[in-house]
Amino acid sequence: MIVHIRGVLTPEEIAHCRARLEAGDWVDGRVTAGAQAARAKRNLQIPEDAPVARELGELILRALGRSGPFNAAALPYRVLPPLFNRYDVGMGFGAHVDGAVRMIPRAGIRMRADVSSTLFLTDPADYDGGELVIEDTFGAHAVKLPAGDMIVYPATSLHRVEPITRGSRWSAFFWSQSMIKDDGQRALLYDLDRGITGVRAELTDDHPSAIALTSTYHNLLRRWAEL
């Protein structure tokens, strides 16, 4: 399931992130990649323990907390603090699959990476190339979103970032361990959640149909959730 989440950050938050990252110390992105990914990866990153990464990561985590669509799509149990990357002209990231298990910094615990997220911090008009291409059973999907928007997709997906031919593409990226490990089950719950929202809008929250659908949603979540 690939979901476009609109307006995760406000224009003011985007401007703040850009200004803080402008002054950041960027390093070779291969320092955080595994052996296979490092051979395909050509970008820059802010070190995960840099003060600016922690500050902006907390800002984004707060924004995720208020994002109903993100929580409906990912059903997060744990969220890795966001990291920040940058692709300049000639940079890209070849086809790869994200690592399955991540260590949460300063927490001393591991988490399973079920859901990948990329939050765009650069407007599409400011660069050429740089599409995030995600492959699934329906083919390849090229993603290039407005600043402040985010794409959420299964971490099991083969994906790549096309080379930049003009400008620079900046983004935040992170992984979530979902309460629902299986992507197919997550997709069913997401569709059901959207259906409940539609029924409530057309009828009322206490309409018998809305109550029945909501009960089914929570009973499926109860059956499938891993905590």
What pLDDT band is residue 15 in, cutting at 50, 70 and 90? Answer: very high
For the domain that residue 73 is a member of, what is the CATH number?
Answer: 2.60.120.620
Q: What integer pLDDT is reported at residue 34 of this predicted model?
A: 58
> With a threshold of 0.85, does the pTM exceed it?
yes
Cite the annotated binding site for 2-oxoglutarate by residue number: 169
Annotated binding site: 96, 98, 159, 169
- Show the DSSP H helices in the chain as ranges: 11-22, 35-40, 51-65, 68-74, 183-202, 208-224
Same domain, residue pair 146 and 126: yes
Query: Are residues 32 and 82 both part of a single domain?
Result: yes
User: Please, is 174 exposed, middle or buried when counting C-beta atoms within 10 Å of its C-beta (0-12, 13-18, 19+)?
Assistant: buried
Alpha-carbon distance 126 to 117, whole Å? Answer: 21
Q: Which residues are annotated as a binding site for Fe cation?
A: 96, 98, 159
- Helix, strand, coil fractions of the chain, as percent rounded to 5: 35, 30, 30
- 149 and 208 co-located in one domain: no
Residues 86 and 193 in one domain: no
- State the residue range of the domain holding 25: 3-178
Residue 220, pLDDT above cutoff 70: yes
For the chain, how many structural domains are there in total?
2
